[in-house]
């Protein structure tokens, strides 16, 4: 294919307009990259803060303008060409060409794939009815907000962060909320039982009807709009709106079809390189090939990987080794997590959950892996060092709230 068939050449094309894509562009310029940069984003919006959707934006507490990741003149001043409202559908890795759903062809020197993921959809009968909402982008959220005034009864499917955050927002505006979770506790994939039971109790105290061990059998509608959620047991829960938060499917198709290695996302090395030449992958759709072999879905991971990839493109090879962190706002509770608790074999609870300020410390073979801190920011800040050092500290000392975590050195063993 000759150059004249192209809509242009870019030294670096970034696919994805979320935190990872936005930070990639910024970090490239910060690292001295002088070539042409294009950022191709599926949404028509300039890059914005996605986690706020299920929190402040859904609650009407934050305007969309305040969610922009960068000020308006940032993109022009950094000479980043925004190509919004289009998706990359094909990657030709050998020719270094991407094709969009608008039929445009762009060639690249380097490609940074930061396409994130799509919400996992319900697949049962009735899942195509109107009134079934997902919270992944601004349009999803706007459609949901538009339907709220006429909706009294809301059923949430999925007891992860998104489902719980949405439940808190809906209760605060007086809606009747039922939350249906297939597993035996909420937050089952991310938190220990102490944290799960605490949040279940909090939501129930706020009037949320939480149903555990409950699968959705089907959805019933009337005039094309959802009316009931039918559980696997046959019980029907009336619903004016159904909000689904059951995880994401990584948006990796075009790279996998182009020959990139990976099954659950795209496999990357410690410099965020894929198995394809000159192609990097970061954020929700990237799977770390070394170490744990997992995808990490968080703002921190997307932005830190973006910096790693940008530096690598500019010749500064600094392996990605950031400690992951996450947060969740529900009611007046702020949970902050540092580290990943995968493979933990014991926990220490520091403080009393009934006081609504406590931390759960996860250990493996006696070493600190991670902390979940609920309304306990000091533990979160000081706990980072324990996680980074895989500290081995006496359990009683960890649990003793009369001492700050930073006072616990190795001598407490």
pLDDT in 10s for each residue of the chain, 413 residues: 334 345 799 999 999 999 999 999 999 999 999 999 999 999 999 999 998 988 899 888 999 999 999 998 999 999 999 999 999 999 999 999 999 999 999 999 999 999 999 999 999 999 999 999 999 999 999 999 999 999 999 999 999 999 999 999 999 999 999 999 999 999 999 999 999 999 999 999 999 999 999 999 999 999 999 999 999 999 999 999 999 999 999 999 999 999 999 989 999 999 999 999 999 999 999 999 876 678 999 999 999 999 999 999 999 999 998 999 999 999 999 999 999 999 999 999 999 999 999 999 999 999 999 999 999 999 999 999 999 999 999 999 999 999 999 998 654 44
Classify the C-alpha dihedral 188-62-324-295 as positive or negative: positive
Q: What is the pLDDT of residues 44-74, one digit of tens each?
A: 999 999 989 888 998 889 999 999 999 989 9
Burial label for 150, CB within 10 Å (0-12, 13-18, 19+), is exposed
Pair of tokens at residue 148:
């709220």
Q: What is the pLDDT of residues 76-132, one digit of tens each?
A: 999 999 999 999 999 999 999 999 999 999 999 999 999 999 999 999 999 999 999
Dist. CA 413–CA 386, nearest whole Å: 13
Q: Which of 328, 325, 329 minimizes the C-alpha distance to 339?
A: 325
Residue position matching structure tokens 């940074």: 112
CATH 3.30.230.10 fits 121-244, yes or no: no
Q: Which of 377, 284, 288, 303 minimizes the C-alpha distance to 337?
A: 377
Q: Is residue 25 a contact partner of residue 15, using CB atoms and an 8 Å limit?
A: no
DSSP code of residue 130: B
What's the pTM value of the predicted model, to 2 decimals?
Answer: 0.93
Q: Which CATH architecture has domain 3-118+248-313?
A: 3-Layer(bba) Sandwich (3.50)
Q: Is residue 285 a contact partner of residue 115, using CB atoms and an 8 Å limit?
A: yes
Q: Which of 236, 238, 242, 166 minimizes the C-alpha distance to 208?
A: 166
| Contact partners, residue 33, CB within 8 Å, separation at least 6 | 11, 12, 310, 313, 314
Instruction: Name the maximum alpha-carbon separation found in the chain.
Output: 71
Tell me where in the chain the CATH 3.50.50.60 domain(s) lie: 3-118+248-313, 121-244
- Which CATH class, in words, describes the domain spanning 332-412? alpha beta
Q: Which of 137, 117, 123, 177 minimizes the C-alpha distance to 153?
A: 177
**Cα atoms found within 13 Å of the Cα of residue 383, Cβ hemisphere only:** 31
């Amino acid at each position: 294919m000759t150059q004249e068939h192209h809509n242009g050449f870019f030294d670096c094309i970034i696919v994805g307009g979320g935190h990872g894509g936005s930070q990639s562009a910024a970090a490239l310029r910060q690292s001295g990259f002088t070539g042409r940069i294009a950022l191709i984003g599926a949404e028509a919006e300039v890059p914005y803060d996605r986690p706020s959707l299920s929190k402040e934006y859904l609650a009407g507490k934050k305007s969309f303008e305040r969610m922009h990741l960068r000020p308006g003149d940032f993109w022009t001043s950094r000479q980043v060409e925004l190509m919004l409202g289009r998706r990359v559908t094909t990657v030709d890795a050998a020719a270094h060409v991407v094709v969009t759903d608008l039929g445009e062809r762009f060639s690249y020197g380097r490609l940074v794939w930061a396409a994130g993921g799509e919400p996992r959809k319900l697949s049962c009968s009735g899942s195509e009815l109107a009134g079934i909402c997902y919270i992944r982008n601004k349009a999803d959220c706007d459609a949901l907000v538009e339907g709220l005034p006429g909706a009294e009864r809301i059923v949430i499917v999925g007891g992860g962060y998104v489902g719980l955050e949405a439940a808190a927002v809906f209760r605060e505006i007086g809606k009747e909320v039922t939350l249906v979770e297939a597993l035996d506790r909420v937050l089952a994939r991310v938190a220990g039982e102490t944290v799960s039971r605490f949040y279940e109790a909090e939501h129930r105290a706020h009037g949320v009807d939480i149903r555990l061990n409950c699968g959705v059998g089907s959805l019933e509608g009337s005039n094309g709009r959802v009316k009931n959620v039918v559980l696997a047991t046959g019980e029907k829960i009336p619903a004016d709106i159904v909000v689904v938060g059951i995880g994401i499917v990584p948006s990796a198709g075009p790279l996998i079809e182009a020959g990139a290695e990976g099954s659950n996302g795209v496999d990357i090395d410690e410099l965020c390189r894929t198995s394809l030449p000159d192609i990097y992958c970061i954020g929700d759709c990237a799977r770390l090939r070394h170490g744990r072999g997992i995808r990490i879905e968080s703002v921190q991971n997307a932005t830190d990987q973006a910096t790693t990839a940008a530096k690598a493109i500019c010749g500064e090879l600094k392996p990605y080794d950031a400690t992951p962190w996450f947060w969740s706002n529900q009611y007046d509770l702020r949970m902050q997590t540092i580290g990943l608790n995968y493979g933990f074999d014991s926990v220490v609870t520091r403080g009393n959950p009934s006081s609504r300020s406590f931390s759960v410390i996860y250990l493996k073979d006696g070493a600190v892996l991670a902390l979940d801190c609920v309304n306990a920011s000091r533990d979160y800040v000081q706990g980072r060092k324990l996680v980074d050092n895989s500290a081995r500290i006496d359990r009683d000392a960890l649990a003793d709230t009369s001492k700050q975590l930073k006072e616990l050195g190795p001598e407490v063993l």
